[in-house]
């Protein structure tokens, strides 16, 4: 898991061939300019989901992972609280949905991380994360990067 400001994204370009394109696309977006829903970047290998909603709070946030995609979760407006735990002992899978590339887990995050506007978090397949645990309105852009 990585947490940083969008202005520092260049530091992470070498971690994956699609990261440069993903972050360049994010930088080109106006903070509130995208409608909610899917935004095309490069087909199914690189796309974004734009959300405009309130967080669910810590009690309702569920740990999840993805096998085919990494998440770059960027806060365009507002702030979020995201839980994190490494997959492994202590987390029990509730089953993998291959159609949604989504696996939920029992257990709670090992830590909670506040993510303010202008910041992003990168979650790799081994990073169980509980997004949308904040309680305020936010505009979040989740860029899905194929592993």
pLDDT at 39 over 80: yes
CA dihedral defined by 18, 126, 43, 118, rounded to 10 degrees?
Answer: -60
Q: What is the mean pLDDT of the chain?
A: 95
CB 59 within 8 A of CB 47: no
Average pLDDT over residues 87-113: 94
* Domains of the chain, residue spans: 2-146
Q: Which residues of 59-81 are buried (b: 16+ CB within 10 A; e: fewer)?
A: eebbbbbbeebbbbbbbbebbbb
* Site of tokens 């949308």: 132
Average pLDDT over residues 62-83: 97
pLDDT of residue 29: 86
Pick 2-146's CATH classification: 2.60.40.10, 1.10.1660.10, 2.60.120.370, 1.10.3720.10: 2.60.120.370
CB 142 within 8 A of CB 48: yes
Does this model's pTM top 0.85? My answer is yes
pLDDT tens, residue by residue, 75-94? 999 999 999 999 988 899 99
pLDDT tens, residue by residue, 6-21? 999 999 999 999 999 9
| Maximum C-alpha span of the chain | 42
């Amino acid at each position: 898991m990585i947490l940083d400001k969008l202005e520092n994204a260049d530091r992470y370009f070498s971690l994956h061939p699609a990261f440069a394109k993903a972050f360049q696309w994010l930088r080109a977006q106006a903070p509130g300019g995208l409608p909610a829903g899917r935004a095309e970047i490069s087909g199914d290998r690189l796309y974004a989901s734009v959300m405009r909603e309130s967080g669910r709070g810590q009690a309702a946030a569920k740990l999840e992972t993805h096998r085919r995609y990494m998440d770059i979760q960027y806060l365009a407006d507002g702030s979020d609280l995201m839980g994190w735990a490494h997959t492994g002992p202590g987390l029990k899978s509730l089953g993998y949905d291959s159609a949604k590339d989504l696996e939920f887990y029992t257990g709670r995050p090992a830590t909670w991380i506040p993510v303010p506007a202008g910041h992003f978090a990168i979650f790799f397949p081994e990073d169980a994360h509980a997004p949308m645990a904040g309680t305020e309105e936010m505009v979040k852009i989740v860029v899905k990067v194929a592993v």
